[in-house]
Amino acid sequence: MVNASITGIGTALPPEYTQEWLWDNAFRRHFNGSRIARRMFESAGVERRHSATAPYEFADVAAWSTEARMRRYADRAPALGLRAVREALADAGVGAEEIGLLAVASCTGYGTPGTDIELAAALPLRSDARRLLVGHMGCHAALPALGAVSDYVAAHDRPAVLLCLELTSLHLQPGSTDIDQAVTHALFSDAAAAVVLRPGEGLPGLRVVDVAARTDTAKNAYMTWRVTDLGFKMGLSPQVPDALAEHVGPLVKDLLGRHGLDPSEVRSWAVHPGGPRVVDAIEEGLGLDPTALDVPRRVLAEHGNCSSATVLLVLRELMDRGLPPGPLVALAFGPGLTLYAVLMEVTA
């Protein structure tokens, strides 16, 4: 049994824009006034989102090379990540010098030396602190990363930090009539979110109990994140929600069954809100009460889909509202087609 608990959480968000403002002032031109694209923006379930790229730059960024986008990531990402990590450390009451491992998950920017080294210098971390980069896994990366960090904490009896940092705005694609790209650009947003995990039993917070995964390789084309000469391009099949609804029930029942639990005993659900149809599909696949996923829907509305950082934003919102003691299940989904679930126990 893992003895590692999330005892601190921090977030950092770039400037906020309303969905309506972004359509009127940036994306209307980008999609040449397409009525279908506008409907995608109106039905995305997003009211506000964040962008480290100023909207007046969107037309320029869409024409940038991947190299130029990576330079911008290197310029903007470290400061945003530092804010989130410092807030998480303060929330946990842990000093940077105590951290044994810093893990950074991102699918939107790379470079070596990268954000992990910038943070190691700025915090600063001890010279013997380990670093781990979880790269290009997509929206579900926070949960396998959480599993790896939890294992480190339990094995080495030292605190660790997981940072999920995504600047999806750097991957705007050139203007087109591609409806798939309209869906993507209507949903995705920028954010950084960090958690601190500490070793030991009886700590107040979220104890990580177990991790489970399920991958349907026959559906690996349903969700893609391809590196192109013009940034990274998302492919998102309309069949994704149905595929998730098919697999999420068996995944969760297997995870809970290993601990003698039933889905009806789960007190809280931290679900990655990939889009409104995804949230509906998870609700259907698990047979949940219509209010069980109110927080994920609210996070989608307030922040958009921030890729790997989103499920940590959901956790933050749940914690801020006050979690009831008992089991909590976190769920996230990504290319593969892959589903990850983490069982946690809320401890007072």
Q: What is the mean pLDDT of the chain?
A: 96
Looking at the fold, whether 134 and 52 belong to one and the same domain comes out as yes
Candidates 88, 129, 80; CA nearest to 106 is 80
Same domain, 134 and 30: yes
Based on the fold, state whether residues 166 and 295 are members of the same structural domain.
no
**What pLDDT does 2 receive?**
62
% pLDDT > 90, the chain: 94
Are residues 169 and 22 part of one domain? yes
Say what the pLDDT of residue 189 is.
98
- Nearest-CA neighbor of 146 among 81, 206, 189, 188? 206
SS3 343: strand
Average pLDDT value for residue range 181-194: 96
Residue 53's CATH number: 3.40.47.10
Q: How far apart are CA 45 and CA 265, in angstroms?
A: 29
Query: pLDDT tens for residues 55-110?
Result: 999 999 999 999 999 999 999 999 999 999 999 999 999 999 999 999 999 999 99
Do 33 and 181 lie in a common domain? yes
Domain boundary among 199, 220, 245: 199
SS3 299: helix
CA 188 to chain centre: 11
**pLDDT of 177 above 90:** no
pLDDT one-digit tens code per residue, 256-305:
999 999 999 999 999 999 999 999 999 999 999 989 999 999 999 999 99
188 Cβ contact partners less than 8 Å away, ≥ 6 residues apart: 49, 168, 169, 234, 304, 305, 306, 307
Residue 89 corresponds to which amino acid?
L
Asked if pLDDT for residue 196 goes beyond 60, the answer is: yes
Q: For residue 32, how many C-alpha atoms fall within 13 Å in the half-sphere facing its CB?
A: 6
Whether 229 and 189 map to the same domain: the answer is no
State how far the Cα of 263 lies from the Cα of 36, in Å rounded to an integer. Answer: 38
Residues 223 and 238 in one domain: yes
**Same structural domain for residues 274 and 133?**
no
Tens digit of each residue's pLDDT (9 = 90 or more) over 198-245: 998 777 889 999 999 999 999 999 999 999 999 999 999 999 999 999
Whether residue 132 is found in the same domain as residue 30: yes
Domain boundary among 184, 199, 214: 199
- Total-model pTM: 0.96
89 and 210 fall within a common domain: no
Contacts for 6 with CB less than 8 Å, ≥ 6 apart: 195, 196, 197, 205, 206, 208, 315, 344
The answer to whether the CB of 2 falls within 8 A of the CB of 207 is yes
* Cα distances (angstroms) measured from residue 77 to each of 114, 176, 192: 9, 28, 9
What is the total count of domains within the chain? 2
Model confidence at 178, pLDDT cuts 50, 70, 90, reads confident
End-of-domain residue from the set 183, 199, 215: 199
**Domain carrying residue 165:** 4-199
Q: Note if 139 is an active site residue.
A: yes
Give the pLDDT confidence score for residue 214 in this predicted structure: 97
Going by C-alpha positions, the residue among 106, 219, 195, 313 that lies closest to residue 115 is 106
DSSP state of 175: P
Tell me, yes or no, whether 191 and 67 share the same domain: yes
Same domain for 233 and 109 = no
Q: Select which of 107, 139, 164, 306 is catalytic.
A: 139
